[in-house]
């Protein structure tokens, strides 16, 4: 899934596909606050976070779109075994400014191989006090994407790989070659499967390792970091680094917790949504003998929404049984802060003390 981000600001608002964290003195960006909340006990003396709020809206700040043409969106992405990641030739980038002049989100569609399952993959860019850019979880460096970064008119100083996950790792090398002066920092205990390949195989060279609560990083006075690293669960360890941007009270995580928006992210194409709404082979297999109608898929908002709901259930669950009519199950998972059932089963259930820590 995309990297989740939490933002708090002096003015109240609701952010699409974001996790929002506030303390007793802060609010949100413009609009009526509605969402899911619960008390969060702070373990740090440096701040007093009292409420965690999840919210959604159709507008998440100033959204920048380039021209509707495919110019600048070409990216040959052939990742091969164990699963190829699409789109294979064309990736649209959406840039959203969520903290004025300070934090931007860049999103692209990412598809699972030749299936009809897609999600949004997110890169977060923070402008540091130095004037340079700190890039979290790079996405495919298409000409469009790089142009949107350069429009921020600041040098890229640091490129961060916050996880071991293959779907984020594959873009770090190509992205870093566009900004050769930037330092690369990676989560510890990197591994890959089925072959445990070195970072150099992915085009990542001269990388420094992120250390738990490291106060010596060049950004330590602005951004704190915490490593979540489990023992091996299955084929390898789960490793993720969370970051807290102190000036904006912004929390960045990758897969540890997620927020599923009710409506599909703008970066996911209409064609992908409609393909998912079609009653294909996956729907027939997972319906377990139920009658599956073979009706043509009409291009309308209802079918686009059905396509998004099916995508989400297939991403979060191993073999969901309710793809035929996904609305009820989707409603239970959307518009709230959750741990992905796959991550909960494979990671947190086996090392619960790591999650609590």
Range of weakest confidence among 80-89, 125-134, 237-246, 305-314 = 80-89
Q: Looking at the structure, do residues 159 and 134 belong to the same domain, yes or no? A: yes
The 3-state DSSP class for residue 124 equals strand
**20 confidence band (pLDDT: 50, 70, 90):** very low
Q: Judge whether 115 lies within some domain.
A: yes
> How many distinct structural domains can be found in the chain?
3
193 plus 326 within the same structural domain: no
Query: Over the chain, what is the mean pLDDT?
Result: 79
CB 217 within 8 A of CB 208: no
Structure confidence by residue, pLDDT tens digits, 170-193: 999 999 999 999 999 999 998 887
DSSP strands (E only) in 197-235: 208-209, 223-233
Residue 80: the pLDDT is: 60
**Looking at the structure, do residues 201 and 279 belong to the same domain, yes or no?**
no
Pair (219, 299) in one structural domain: no
Determine what percent of the chain is predicted with pLDDT higher than 70. Answer: 76
Last residue of a domain, one of 200, 232, 259: 259
167 and 107 belong to one structural domain: yes
Judgement on whether residues 154 and 169 belong to the same structural domain of the protein: yes
Note whether 318 and 285 are same-domain residues: yes
Q: How confident is the model at residue 160 (pLDDT cuts 50, 70, 90)?
A: very high
Cα of 41 vs its chain's centroid, Å = 25
Tell me if 13 is assigned to some domain: no
Assign residue 293 a region (left: φ > 0; alpha: ψ between -120 and 50; beta: otherwise).
Answer: beta
Q: Examine the pLDDT at 4 and tell me if it is beyond 60.
A: no
In a domain, 349, yes or no: no
Q: In CATH, what number is assigned to the domain containing residue 111? A: 3.60.15
- One domain, residues 240 and 285: no
Residue 65: the pLDDT is: 65
Do residues 154 and 166 make contact, with C-beta atoms less than 8 angstroms apart?
A: no
- How many other C-beta atoms are found inside a 10 Å radius of the C-beta of residue 198? 9
The answer to whether position 208 is within a domain reads: yes
Q: Is the Cβ–Cβ distance between 282 and 314 less than 8 Å?
A: yes
Q: Does residue 106 fall inside a structural domain?
A: yes
Give the pLDDT confidence of 37-46 residue by residue, as tens digits: 222 333 444 4
| pLDDT bracket for residue 135 (50, 70, 90) | very high
Whether residues 248 and 317 fall in one domain? no
Is residue 352 in a domain? no
Query: Residue 199: its pLDDT value, please?
Result: 85
Q: Does residue 189 fall inside a structural domain? A: yes
**Number of separate helices (H) and strands (E) present in the chain:** 9, 18
Pair 49, 69 in one domain: no
> With bands split at pLDDT 50, 70 and 90, how would you rate the model's confidence at 195?
confident
The bridge status of strand 103-112 relative to strand 85-86 is antiparallel
**What residues contact 48, with CB distance under 8 A and at least 6 apart?**
23, 24, 42
The DSSP annotation for 27-74 comes to B-SSS---EEEEE-----TT--EEEEEEE--S--SEEE---SS-TT-B
Hey, which of 23-32, 221-230, 312-321 has the most confident mean pLDDT? 221-230
CA dihedral 153, 110, 210, 187 (to 10 degrees): -160
**33 in the same domain as 146:** no
Tell me if 12 is assigned to some domain: no
Predicted TM-score (pTM) of the model is 0.80
Q: What is the pLDDT of residue 342?
A: 78
Range of the domain at 23: 19-55
Q: Which of 27, 55, 83 is the last residue of a domain?
A: 55
CA distance 57 to 263: 9
Of 259, 279, 311, the one marking the end of a domain is 259
Inter-residue contact 287 to 45 (CB < 8 Å): no
Shared domain check, 304 and 238? no
């Amino acid at each position: 899934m995309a990297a989740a981000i939490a933002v708090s600001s002096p003015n109240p608002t609701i952010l699409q596909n974001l996790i929002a964290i506030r303390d007793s003195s802060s609010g949100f960006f413009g609009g009526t606050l509605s969402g899911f909340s619960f008390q969060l006990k702070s373990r740090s003396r440096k701040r007093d976070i009292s409420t965690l709020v999840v919210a959604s809206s159709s507008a998440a700040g100033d959204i920048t779109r380039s021209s509707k043409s495919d110019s600048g969106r070409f990216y040959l992405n052939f990742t091969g075994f164990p699963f190829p990641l699409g789109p294979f030739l064309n990736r649209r980038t959406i840039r959203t400014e969520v903290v004025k002049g300070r934090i931007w989100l860049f999103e692209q569609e990412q598809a699972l191989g030749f299936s009809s399952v897609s999600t949004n993959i997110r890169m977060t860019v923070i402008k540091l006090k130095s004037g340079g850019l700190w890039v979290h979880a790079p996405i495919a460096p298409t000409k469009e994407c790089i142009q949107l970064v350069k429009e921020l008119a600041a040098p890229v100083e640091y490129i961060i790989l916050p996880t071991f996950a293959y779907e984020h790792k594959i873009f770090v090398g190509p992205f870093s070659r566009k900004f050769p002066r930037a330092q690369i920092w990676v989560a510890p205990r990197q591994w890959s499967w089925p072959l445990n390949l070195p970072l150099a195989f992915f085009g990542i060279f001269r990388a420094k390792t992120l250390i738990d609560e490291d106060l010596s990083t060049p950004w330590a006075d602005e951004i704190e970091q915490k490593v979540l690293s489990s023992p091996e669960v299955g084929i390898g360890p789960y490793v993720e680094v969370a970051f807290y941007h102190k000036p904006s009270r912004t929390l960045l995580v990758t897969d540890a917790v997620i927020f599923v928006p009710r409506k599909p992210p703008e970066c996911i194409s209409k064609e992908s949504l409609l393909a998912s709404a079609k009653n294909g082979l996956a729907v027939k297999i997972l319906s377990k003998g139920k009658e599956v109608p073979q009706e043509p898929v009409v291009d309308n908002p209802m079918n686009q929404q059905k396509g998004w709901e099916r995508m989400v259930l297939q991403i979060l669950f191993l073999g969901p049984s309710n793809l035929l009519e996904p609305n009820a199950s989707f409603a239970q998972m959307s518009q709230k802060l959750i741990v992905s059932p796959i991550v909960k089963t494979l990671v947190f259930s086996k090392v619960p003390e790591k999650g609590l820590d």
